[in-house]
Chain A
Amino acid sequence: MMATAVHGPGVITELEPFAPGHRACSGCGEALAVRLAAKAIGNNAIIVNATGCMEVVASPFPYTSWRIPWIHTLFENAAAVASGAEAGLKALEKKGKRPERNIKVVALAGDGGTSDIGLQALSGALERGHDFVYICLDNEAYMNTGIQRSSATPYGASTTTSPAGKESLGQVTWKKNLPAIAVAHDIPYVATACPSYHRDLMRKVTKAVETPGPAYIHILSVCPTGWRCATDDAIKVGRLAVRTGIFPLYEVTNGQYKMSLSLTKLEPVENYLKTQGRFRHLTEDTIKEIQERVTREYNKLVELAGKPGGETSSE
């Protein structure tokens, strides 16, 4: 029987495959995302981690935060290593060389490891239909190396390689839409999540694990260090990202979009932007430009889902 403890409004497993004691920065939203995801993944899994924050903070030899089997090799190849592990397990089980235990392979990578350098490997693994889960932990820049921009960095954000200056507003490109790219691979399950909505996140990870074939989950992970917000604000900032429509929560099951929250009215993006130092230089005009884009993109999603929201999810 699964050990449980009363936690908030519901019951959440006490299982902690991702142990405390890791070396993430204080207030790290990504470590929280991994902890929650790991609870949902459970013990019968193999984690394939790309190089990045979560690899560095969780595995400084001779310590490890992982109570389940875990492998890290390189930056851009998590999806490919996961492909090999999944195919290897299946082949060995088929040949009777390993008992059939339905072990799930789960790849973890940051936004750079997913949307930039690892995109090809991810596309290949999704296209080939491996039975695995890929989780992108998106903190919107190369935080591990010191806050350099990635293609997942949002428009207007100041980073160390897209600094705001007299001639630049910071990041001049719009965030690459990775979930849409995953959906375009026609895989059975794609979802977005944020640890500010922890039950929603865990439900989606569970669903991804239970889905045969490839599943992709994109988790917005607030990074107080890189976003320049207060270390006790990760949950609040994540919630604002969702409520402003900047990072909508939705899932796509067999191509069918469904909004995860019923948001009758979006909060102004300014409420979100003003919580973070990376946006402090933005002018009213730029904020207006962002607002227009966010509203337009959010409406597109709602249209895809056919209605404004699915079931109301508790936070």
Chain B
Amino acid sequence: MPKKYETPMLDELEKGPFPSFVTEMKKAAAKSDMAADALGQLERCFKDNRTHWKHGGIVGVRGYGGGVIGRYSDLPEEFPDVAHFHTVRINSIAGLFYKSSFLKEMCDIWDKYGSGLTNFHGSTGDLVLLGTKTDTLESIFAEFSSRGWDLGGSGSAMRTPSCCVGPARCEWANIDTLDITYATTQEFQDEMHRPAFPYKFKFKTVGCAVDCNAAIARADCSIIGTWKGKIEINQDEVANYAKSGMNIQTEIVNLCPSKCMSYDGKTLSINDDDCVRCMHCISRMTKALKPTGEKGASILIGSKAPFVIGATLSWVIVPFMKMEPPYTEFFDLVRKMWEWWDEHGKNRERIGELIIRRGMREFLEYIGVDPMPQQVKEPRRDPFYFWKEEDLAK
């Protein structure tokens, strides 16, 4: 008979119209002591207004430096079944497509070796398995790897790359986000499984500037699909949007960030030279507007959540790069960025923080990218590029 704890504070989180993680944990707790203790300890954390989870340490599978995150209870006598409650990250498939047969197998493995609790997906993008003991880790790894799956990234390493659904389900994808994610995962296996960086490094790839995966805010290296040509306009469809009640002036033209659009009540015009490819107009008028011409990606660097300094968004370093297999130009650029970061980065310093500390000029010089207007992140703020004597002589 599994344990049962009184959880008056957690019960409050079951109220309201939304699905509750507490309800799901209670279902798991009905057949797993580990899930029951996780619930009991969580109630205790709420009651004490502090966490009773400890993090880190010496856990993993042989040869790998990531994929398992050590978690321990600081109340092991009270909650013995969560004395160890490690998290396992499984490298998710690009676009998060799974066969139902895999999901069934995965659940069977996890019921056998773990708490039965999962997290689809963690904010890392991985398939997250919550709660197991140290002595089952090798068996879990063997079960998954024998089925063709691998652990994800953790620690001071490249993290599991993630992407939007891209061309699999979206006609607006300018790049094959799924293939780029898969190729990046394969190319940098060592960097993902054998931590050698000053801190974490994340890739996120999206097919267009709508950025369904929030790459610009969450990835050290954001790959955002874009295009070089004009936006093709179907004026009949523009008229249909107007007829169906859309206020094109207010909802489209006035919200264009570069003010490159105009509308006279009949005809919509775009000055493509001033367009910054933000996708606002296209995503609102999908039938009327379409990008044309060469497709590729903008490469941005440096976003992260608050840590040493506050949250930052990525900023453009390469405005346009063709992103076609075997992605040699992109991988070479990434290796140069890592070399510079490895040389100068302090422990637990993200690459974006290092760029802020040492300067964009030094970074661009090292990676061999010329300064370009598109790299100016915040006009009228301090310039990051200072001319040298030899530049002035040119």
State yes or no: do A and B come from one complex: no
Using CB atoms and an 8 Å cutoff, list the residues of chain B in contact with chain A: none
A residues neighboring B (CB under 8 Å): none
